Chains A and B, each alone.
Chain A
Amino acid sequence: MTTQTARRPSGLMSSRVSDFLRAREVGIALLVVVIVVVTTVNNHHFADSASIQQMLTGASLIALLGVGETMVIVTRNVDLSVGSVLGLSAYIIGDLFKHQHIPAWSGFVVGIAIGAAVGAVNGFITTVLRVPSLVVTLAMLYIIRGLDGVIVNGKTIDPDVIPASFTAVGYKTVFGVPWLAIIVVVVVIAVGYAMRTFRAGRDLYAIGSNPDAAALAGIPIERRVFTAFVVSGALAGLGGALFLALHAQVDNSGGIGYELTVVAAVVVGGVAIFGGSGTVVGAALGALLLNTISQALVASKISAFWNQAIAGALLLAAIGFDRWLTVRLTKRLRSSEGAHRDV
């Protein structure tokens, strides 16, 4: 009985609000298109296939990390350890290629395993000990970075020790679409579908919207949040493998500072930082938007010194625009409901 009443609003919300959420993602996608078009008017080579391939490639790692981050943020948590996990995973995979000569495919397995392990630690401390995830993952950021440094110890992984079939993932294309982008799109579709369709996925939204109600509804909050952290870690670990495939080398600096970029991309993508709403498609588009902006600024021959300030201003604009849209749509929903009720 309690289960039913508590689940009703969230079920209704998903059906009704999903339209407007989708509209929000369309908005971000349109923004990307507008930037590409405006830049292309100035410089018609910006729409060349190589340039567009790089827009996709350049956004793919942040988008991938953004998928996991979305799962975590939707539950009203945050994962600041993703950049350090990416760096650690990339180096360890490289080191295994160099010294153990492991087969190329196993690099991906190792990456995912390392990430999932760190994610499990994050999830365990957050859920079982009930410690705020921001503090846990900030601490893990320090710890993993330090651990990475101790392991790397000034060494590098150079291109010649990495199997060619592994780096091929970083640059090969299928009908002009980079493999990196395909992998990320597959992950986005899979996780996006799971979060919309499966009960466990929808539970994540319920937990974020109203934890107390979720608990009353009998949702296993701790298990769901734990899973979100494990997936976020696993994707960051996979990101490490893709980082190595893309750049064909790594030292201790892989993924430094990614954590805030990922959170920024997710927020620009319309995921509410306090949980309960937002989609992985939005997060991925947010990452695409940020990368497109930086690439467009260089292509528009704007002085490199302006890059960061403009990126920051656009970020604020995106958050503000999103807010404006939400307020407007909420009003419209309200008035249309009022009308509905009258009838």
Chain B
Amino acid sequence: MSSQRSVRKLAAIGTSALLVSVALAACSSSSNNSNSPSTPSGGGSSSGTSIKSGLTVYYIPKDTQNPYEVLADKGGQKALSELGGKVVVSSGSQDTAAAQLPSIQAAIQANADAIVIAGNDPSALCPALNQAAQQGIAIVSFDSDITCGSSPNHLFINQANTQQIGTSEVDLLAKEINKTGQIAILSAAASATNQNAWIKYMKQQLTKYPKMKLVSTVYGNDDPATSLTVLQGLLSAYPNLRGIISPTTVGISTAAQYLDTHKSLLSHLTLTGLGLPSQMKQYVHDGTVKAFELWNPSDLGYLAGYAAASLASGVTTLSPGSTFKAGTLGTYKVLPPAAGTGPSVVLGPPTVFTKANIDQFNF
């Protein structure tokens, strides 16, 4: 179906700019319709009674192309179709706050019931989101949280406990390198909120391993070429490097491809981090990477969808201890605000992928 859509798009582009957009409007509205038929399934039936039907939830990912976010959006669509509502995915084509702003405005103007957003900037979107909240739109953030001052006006769907992600990656690496040696972090952009939060906890956890020393944090900006250049700089700066943690999918897969093609490094260098199983499958099977972590992005979007619908229907609130049902995932409880984050819900512990289990995952 998607290929048919793109063919239609391509045909339209040739004719004229305005015609294109008309044709596309037709396409996108028809695809929305196909999502709406709802057959409540699984645990949805119990909560479905109190969740309003016909809810409109705007999903605003970092950009519309990021493979990870696309999976999450699909999870959201699944959740809302179970609940008889609909999802509108809207964002820019670049990872900037400026590109997300028009989508928030469109959600406000369309009187959406909820916004689910992965923030490209922790604070820059706050004025617009506060406006949305004042209009009664429920705000849920996922993947990368937003920090809008002291007023807790949104719920953060945490992919896994932030502290747990940081500590478990250090633990994973410690086990493989026998708790000894120089290590480095290959991150995304220096201003990425989620990356910086995890790195903070990694540093904290490293105090438990006195013989492991974090020698450098480098930024590959989620660009394969930049990641490769800084990785090589890192390797020549620290020839005794024993381990690299790359808590970003582009970073870990770029580093894995480099190690895979420079196998001699594997005798003393271990790579771990956060990656997509589909991208990492080959490297795990040929032994380049022993273990890495992630959660199911689709579950994350699915949970965010249920949370958004529950907040919009008044089934749950932002106050700590309130609960809501999230379809097939079970019941979730709102956690109290902690340093730097407002009320949040944690999806669950991250999955560790190894040779033994990686083939079971299809994302």
Contact call B67/A156, Cβ cutoff below 8 A: yes
Q: How far does the alpha carbon of A158 sit from the alpha carbon of B237 in the complex, in Å?
A: 30
A50-B235, A159-B283, A299-B236 known; A149 vs B65 contact (CB < 8 Å): yes
- A180-207 contact mask (Cβ, 8 Å, vs B): 1 or 0: 0000000000000000000000000000
A253-B65, A299-B233 known; A248 vs B218 contact (CB < 8 Å): no
Which residues of A have CB within 8 Å of B70?
Answer: 154-155
Instruction: List A residues 53-79 near B (Cβ within 8 Å).
Output: 54-55, 57-58, 61
Contact call A158/B279, Cβ cutoff below 8 A: yes
- B249-262 contact mask (Cβ, 8 Å, vs A): 1 or 0: 00001100100011
Contact call B236/A158, Cβ cutoff below 8 A: no
A336 at the interface (CB under 8 A from B): no
B282 at the interface (CB under 8 A from A): yes
Contact call A58/B236, Cβ cutoff below 8 A: no
Contact call B216/A295, Cβ cutoff below 8 A: no
**Which stretch from B161-169, B219-227, B331-339 is at the chain A interface?**
B219-227
A-B contact pairs, 27 of them (CB 8 A): A50-B265, A54-B229, A55-B232, A57-B228, A61-B225, A154-B64, A155-B70, A156-B276, A156-B279, A170-B261, A247-B225, A248-B257, A249-B257, A251-B67, A252-B93, A253-B222, A295-B229, A295-B230, A295-B233, A297-B233, A298-B229, A298-B230, A298-B232, A298-B237, A299-B236, A300-B237, A301-B216
| Cβ of A312 to closest chain B Cβ, rounded Å | 15
Contact call B236/A51, Cβ cutoff below 8 A: yes
* Besides A50-B232, A54-B229, A299-B237, 12 new A-B residue pairs in contact (Cβ under 8 A), listed by A number: A46-B236, A61-B225, A150-B10, A154-B66, A154-B69, A295-B229, A297-B233, A298-B218, A298-B232, A298-B233, A299-B234, A304-B230
Interface of B, secondary structure class, is: helix
> How many residues on the B side are at the interface (Cβ–Cβ under 8 A)?
44
Contact call A48/B236, Cβ cutoff below 8 A: yes
A152 at the interface (CB under 8 A from B): yes
A171 at the interface (CB under 8 A from B): yes
Which residues of B have CB within 8 Å of A248?
Answer: 257
Which residues of B have CB within 8 Å of A146?
Answer: 93
Contact call A294/B281, Cβ cutoff below 8 A: no
A268 at the interface (CB under 8 A from B): no
Interface centre among B13, B65, B233, B265 (most CB of A within 10 A): B233
A170-B261, A249-B279, A304-B217 known; A154 vs B65 contact (CB < 8 Å): yes
Name which residue of chain B comes closest to A251, CB basis.
B67
B30 at the interface (CB under 8 A from A): no
Which residues of A have CB within 8 Å of B279?
Answer: 156, 158-159, 249
Instruction: List B residues 1-47 near A (Cβ within 8 Å).
Output: 2, 6, 9-10, 13
A224 at the interface (CB under 8 A from B): no
Name which residue of chain A comes closest to B277, CB basis.
A158
Task: Enumerate chain A interface residues (CB-CB to B < 8 A).
Answer: 43, 45-46, 48, 50-51, 54-55, 57-58, 61, 145-147, 149-156, 158-160, 167, 170-171, 246-249, 251-254, 256-257, 291, 294-301, 304-305
Q: How far does the alpha carbon of A156 sit from the alpha carbon of B67 in the complex, in Å?
A: 7
Q: How far does the alpha carbon of A50 sit from the alpha carbon of B234 in the complex, in Å?
A: 12
Which residues of A have CB within 8 Å of B236?
Answer: 43, 45-46, 48, 50-51, 295, 299
Which residues of B have CB within 8 Å of A297?
Answer: 233
Name which residue of chain A comes closest to B262, CB basis.
A50
- B51-67 contact mask (Cβ, 8 Å, vs A): 1 or 0: 00000000000001111
| Cβ of A158 to closest chain B Cβ, rounded Å | 5
Contact call A153/B6, Cβ cutoff below 8 A: yes
Which residues of A have CB within 8 Å of B281?
Answer: 158-160
Q: How far does the alpha carbon of A149 sit from the alpha carbon of B10 in the complex, in Å?
A: 12
Q: How far does the alpha carbon of A51 sit from the alpha carbon of B2 in the complex, in Å?
A: 43
A154-B67, A159-B257 known; A58 vs B190 contact (CB < 8 Å): no
Q: How far does the alpha carbon of A54 sit from the alpha carbon of B67 in the complex, in Å?
A: 28
Which residues of B have CB within 8 Å of A170?
Answer: 261
Q: How far does the alpha carbon of A154 sit from the alpha carbon of B230 in the complex, in Å?
A: 26
Contact call A153/B218, Cβ cutoff below 8 A: no
Name which residue of chain B comes closest to A290, CB basis.
B229
Interface centre among B65, B239, B276 (most CB of A within 10 A): B65
Contact call A305/B190, Cβ cutoff below 8 A: yes
The 4 closest A-B pairs by CB, nearest first: A298-B233, A154-B70, A171-B261, A54-B232
Contact call A51/B232, Cβ cutoff below 8 A: yes
B50 at the interface (CB under 8 A from A): no
